[in-house]
Amino acid sequence: MILRGIGAALSIVLACGSSQAQTFKSSAGDLKVETIASGLSHPWGLAFLPDGRMLVTERPGRLRIVTRDGKLSPAVANLPKVFASGQGGLLDVIIDRAFTQNRVIYFCYAEPADGGARTAMARGKLVDGDTPRLDDVKVIFQQAGPLSSSNHFGCRIVQMPDGNLFLTTGEHFTQRDYAQTLDNHLGKLIRITPDGAAPADNPFVGKAGAKPEIWSYGHRNMQGLALNPATGKIWEQEHGPRGGDEINIPLAGKNYGWPLISYGVNYDGTPVNEGKSEDPGLEQPIWHWTPSIAPSGMAFYTGDLFPAWKGSLFNGALAGTLLSRLELDGDKVVKEERILQDLRERIRDVRNGPDGALWLLTDNSAGRILRVVPAK
């Protein structure tokens, strides 16, 4: 069930400072969407620092610190070289769970290699100040398998309570059959330690011909990843082709079907594989969008500003230019509400802010950081 007509804009008003805010309808009442910062080039990942400032990546290869009132730092120095072409560049960023003690951050990016690129993840220590930088930078994961020309890098990161890291990858679009084989990292959910090792309880550790970092496989292009605080399970979403965008709760060692099954069709309208949407031994998504909305970042809402939305799963949408709210009953989706449709901007990331607001990134050459709060 979709609640329609949610995105109608009511008015544009001035917010604090020089920021502009728009007001939109929703099931939780009127929403105010404030522009906190602007002028970012294709911002991709957002992470909150303990003092309320933010780390924001820009796809061309810059990482910035952004103050609560929207001031941008110079680009953080000492990042590795990134492959900034097509969908590639500097992508997600998170802070370590012990950041206040160790100052460690993790980031993933398209790494140039032999005329193409692959997904990589690195860590480093953030040194603050007027000219911020990273020290002790170490690449802890490099995707094995055929390289990408410019597409399907995945690249969302979540650190679990045990310290281990999940990283999404893509299958590089033209190499989709590799998502079904275990001797590479294409179309796989990756699980590693903070130093890059494969945890001993990963499902393919010790299996001949399989990469030990693999958690699950048969994925397409995973651009959303979130820990469900109610269950402790990791959730991911991935782009389908024309239709068939999926949300999965990936279990260890399981096969999620791409490109053997899909609820979508190829971009030329032909069936994917034999046109099957299910097959024995292949996992079904818990939700799919057909037609596609091109989902991006995702977050479970745990704040207090929107009590009626507590526990909901929010997904940004690129082609759909909207914010999708999924109401859950355990591990099942029972309702979708489409919000901010009249914003008419590609929403790249969604974060549950420490202030209880929803924070968004818009993906364009003059991208913005947006804060969503009740209008009253």
Domains of the chain: 41-219 (2.120.10.30)
What pLDDT does 6 receive? Answer: 32
Tokens representing 20 are: 């502009």
Given the DSSP bridges, would you call strands 20-24 and 9-14 parallel, antiparallel or unpaired? antiparallel
Q: What is the DSSP letter of 100?
A: H
Closest to 281 (Cα-Cα) out of 263, 295, 307, 261:
261
The whole-number pLDDT of residue 19 equals 52
Rounded alpha-carbon distances, angstroms, from residue 31 to 28, 246, 337, 340, 353 = 8, 27, 14, 9, 16
Q: What's the chain's length in residues?
A: 376
CA distance 376 to 373: 9
Q: Using CA atoms, how far apart are residues 189 and 167, in angstroms rounded to an integer?
A: 6
* Residue ranges for the chain with pLDDT beneath 50: 1-18
d(CA 25, CA 67): 28
Phi, psi of 309 (to 5 degrees): -100, 5
The question of whether 239 is a catalytic residue gets the answer no
Q: CA 261 to CA 280: how far, in whole Å?
A: 10
pLDDT of residue 9: 32
Contact 146, 185 (CB under 8 A): no
Calpha distance 233→368 (Å, rounded): 30
Amino acid letter for position 346: R
Residue 18 is predicted with a pLDDT of: 38
User: In the prediction, which pLDDT does 376 show?
Assistant: 84
Q: How many CA atoms lie within 13 A of 317 on its CB side?
A: 25
pLDDT at 292: 97
Q: What is the pLDDT, as a whole number, of residue 160?
A: 98
Tokens of 324: 């999708």
pLDDT of residue 12: 27
CB-based contact 271:286 (threshold 8 Å): no
- SS3 (DSSP) at 177: helix
The residue annotated as part of the active site, out of 152, 185, 219, 288, is: 152
pTM of the model: 0.94
